Amino acid sequence: MTHHSEPRLLALHAVRVLGFADTPVIAEHAALTLGDATDLLQEAEHHGWVQHSSFADIAGWSLTDEGKAENERLLAAERDSADPDGRITGAYQAFLPLNARLLRAVTDWQLAPTTADALAPNDHSDKDRDGGILIELGALNQALAPLVATLSEVLARFDGYAERFDAALNKAKEGHHQWIDRMDVDSCHRVWFQLHEDLIATLGIDRGGENITRTA
C-alpha cells in the first residue's frame, strides 16, 4: 500500500526540494492547504529548522542545518517503515542512466559547439538538431513515467513528477524554448532537478558525493 507522508515531513521536505520558496509554492508542492503549510512552517521556524528571508522583492523559506538534519531523520524513519524491500533504491539505480542522458540533452539544448568556440550558445537556428534533442527528451519522458509510478507506489509524494515533465515538454514542442531548461518556470530541467533532489534526500545520499557525473 502506498505510504502517505506526514504533513510535517511534507512541509520540511518541500523546502528541501525547492531550495528557496515562499509559503504558497511550498503548500502547492507539498499538497497542503495554505493554512496548514503556514502553521507547519511557523512551527518549524520555532524549532530553528527553517528561516524566512527577503531579497529585494523576493521572499521565501529555506532550511537551516538543523532543519536539514531533522528532514533527513524523518526521511530515514519513513523509508525504513514504508520501503523495507528497497524499491526506492532500485528506482534510483534505474534513474541514474536516464539522468546522464538528461544532462547531455540539456547541455546540447544550451550549447552548439563550433570549431571556433566549444561553448557557443545554441541559437536554435538548426531545427534538425533541436528536433533530435526533443526526440531524446521524448524518450526520457516515456521512460520517466513508469519509474515515477514505481516510486509513487511506495511513497505518494513522488506522484506528479512525470505529469509535470510531460507538460513542460509539450510546451517546448510548441516552440516555447524556456520550458526545456529555465529554472524560473516549471521546465523539464527544473522538474528533473527536483526529482533528483527528492531521490537523494529520501535515500540519504549527498548530491556532491554521488558516484556519477554531476547532474543538472
pLDDT at 187 over 80: yes
Strongest mean pLDDT among 49-58, 121-130, 143-152, 206-215: 143-152
pLDDT at 213 over 90: no
pLDDT at 101 over 50: yes
For residues 169 and 137, the answer to whether their CB atoms sit within 8 Å is yes
The predicted structure's pLDDT at residue 156: 97
CA-CA-CA-CA torsion sign (111, 113, 118, 121): negative
Q: Percent of the chain having pLDDT more than 90?
A: 90
* Mean pLDDT along residues 171-181: 96
The predicted structure's pLDDT at residue 209: 64
The predicted structure's pLDDT at residue 57: 86
* Mean pLDDT along residues 65-90: 96
For the chain, the domains span 7-81, 85-209
Question: Domain 7-81 is of which CATH architecture?
Answer: Orthogonal Bundle (1.10)
Instruction: Give residue-wise pLDDT tens across range 20-34.
Output: 999 999 999 999 999
- Helix 7-18 vs helix 23-30: angle between axes, to the nearest 10 degrees? 120
C-alpha grid cell for residue 97? 542512466
Instruction: Give residue-wise pLDDT tens across range 32-77.
Output: 999 999 999 999 999 999 999 998 889 999 999 999 999 999 999 9
pLDDT at 163 over 60: yes
Average pLDDT, the chain: 94
C-alpha grid cell for residue 179? 520550458
pLDDT at 215 over 60: no
The predicted structure's pLDDT at residue 211: 56
The predicted structure's pLDDT at residue 78: 97
